[in-house]
Structure 1
């Protein structure tokens, strides 16, 4: 159900510091149904705002500097007017970073293609962002919105990231590992984020493609995204996020499709994912940083999506220290020939703390899966295992996971749940799970699991 609720008319100074006029953006409420109860997602509507075509502000094809400056000026003018659409017209446009402002819709017309530089210098100065669940100052995301309200990226055009230089940063040489260790230890000591400056000669922390950082009323609709230096779409500490009819293809390193992190009231629907990593990965920060921020990922509905490739259809964690609850994914399809490890994979370790509860997966169709339908592992540390010690041990309670009406053709196992004796996984229900072939002699592999039900 859709409800119009408000068009802001208070003085902009009281609402959004980046505007000079009252907001002209309408806000609608969508009622979202879920197994854990209905909730509302607020969505901005830009039908009554003015348009600001970047060509009117000096954008030139084949001139990256002119186009980057024109986009920035168009965004500034749209925000100052109380709201506006920044129009990217048909054609190919070279650009550097784009920083959005409140009440602005970056709108790509059909046939428009924004081509983002792969020169790291174009994403400086550093901004307040994250790296794998830890806050820091790093290269700006290619598209970045910080503390914005009513912000959108829409249209039938394409966002394209050049990758030649970013690919040289995919490895983890000693300089990168040392910077990982330094950031981890700064977070353990609860140092100010401003002191965590991670741009140096060898850290090579690649930026996200799109990050909404501490934003409200966010809309991504109809766009196509190709390639990404790192995570593709990253709503971080944000509320009321709608991602609809978005087509993502990214096969670089750590190319998750969507990573809602410590975000709430999120709707992801009718999207297509072709990923080199997880299609959708719900996260809530890492260790001490997330304990400090104390914001769970909560009320997230994913529906009617298709996955062509990805490590998992839905991953939970491993950055989950702020807690994750009320996640529903339904009516999704994985292509028969997709490269996939799990449909649902929950991962954590003894350093994370947090919690995972009320996870629902319903009506999913898939082909062959390399691992299984459900995987839960509580000792996933990757490169961090030997890099830094466990400074504070906090286990993750995991409970109330329900999977119903799941069909796959060929799997290694139905479920593999590897809990910890100190804190077993609890209350897993799998109903009407259908597979043509199970390669393992033991379809359900369980350690430290209490109350497993299957029908």
Structure 2
């Protein structure tokens, strides 16, 4: 069991089949790593994640093992700490802490040459796999089961370029794949989504809600969606 792990440049995390990397259920084990003051001020603990990378290149996660965030247990612990006054969220949403204050399974920001292949991800406390301002990103043959709590997106891509998502199975309690744009003057560009199967309690694929920069050259091919509220959405 572990708290946050940071991937540095030229490092690949390899998980053998049947190996499980288990996330801690204590929010104090997810301190956040970001050096971006704006990220911390505007988004609270938006950089908290089980696996985290910032400004790294030539990094990856491979192997048929599993990364399990124990999201339900972690989210309920965070909620309990709010009600006891120990970890108060002044913008608390009714019945739950906001997704910004719950750790993701994975968050990468300003990274280049990233490869994720064949690994299983499950049970985040908020968004599953989140990427911001990354370039040259390959996501292939992942199995993502993210239904432990509310706001459980599968994969979130924000202002990234040269992104390839293929051959993935995603079962999420919110958007399956969500393209966002949090930064003015930045946008998603050259994004390909293909040969994926998506189960979602919301949209299989969504553009937004955050759309400050925009989206260019996005292709979607051979995506199967089942038990999903909507096929695609744009906001």
* TM-score of Structure 1 vs Structure 2, range by shorter chain: 0.7 to 0.9
Counterpart of 1:155 in structure 2 is: 63
- Residue in 2 that maps onto 1:142: 50
Q: How many residues align?
A: 221
Aligned to 2:180: 283
Runs of 4+ with >2 A deviation: 125-131, 134-140, 167-173, 175-180
TM-score (norm 2): 0.86
**CA RMSD, Structure 1 to Structure 2 (Å):** 2.5
Are the aligned partners of 2:203 and 2:232 in contact in 1 as well (CA < 8 Å)? yes
**Which residues of 2 match residues 66-85 of structure 1 at below 5 A?**
none
Structure 1 position 247, deviation (Å): 0.3
2:187 maps to which residue? Answer: 296
Aligned to 2:16: 109
Q: Is the 8 A contact 2:14 2:63 kept in 1?
A: yes
For the 8 Å contact 2:44–2:101, the answer to whether it is kept is: no
Corresponding position of 2:143: 247
Is 1:346–2:222 an aligned residue pair? Answer: no
Assess, with a 3 A threshold, how the Cα gap between structure 1 residues 179 and 145 changes in structure 2: closer, same or farther: same
Residue equivalent to 1:266: 163
Which secondary structure state, in structure 2, belongs to the residue aligned with residue 121 of structure 1?
helix
Larger relative contact order, structure 1 or 2 (CA cutoff 8 Å, min sep 6): 2
Unaligned runs of 5+ in 2: none
Establish whether residue 233 from structure 1 lines up as the match of residue 129 from structure 2. Answer: yes
- Deviations, residues 98-135 of structure 1 (Å, cap 9, x unaligned): 1000000000011111111020111125534798xx55
The higher radius of gyration belongs to: 1
Q: Using the alignment, how far apart are the partners of 2:22 and 2:171 within structure 1?
A: 19
Partner of 1:319: 210
8 Å CA contact 2:32–2:45 kept in 1: the answer is no
Distance 1:329 1:257 in 2: 16
Could you tell me how far apart the structure 1 residues matched to 2:67 and 2:177 are? 19
Change (3 A) 1:138 1:268: closer
**Contact 2:47 2:107 (8 Å CA) reproduced:** no
TM-score by length of 1: 0.45
Q: Per the alignment, in what secondary structure is the counterpart of residue 101 of structure 1?
A: coil
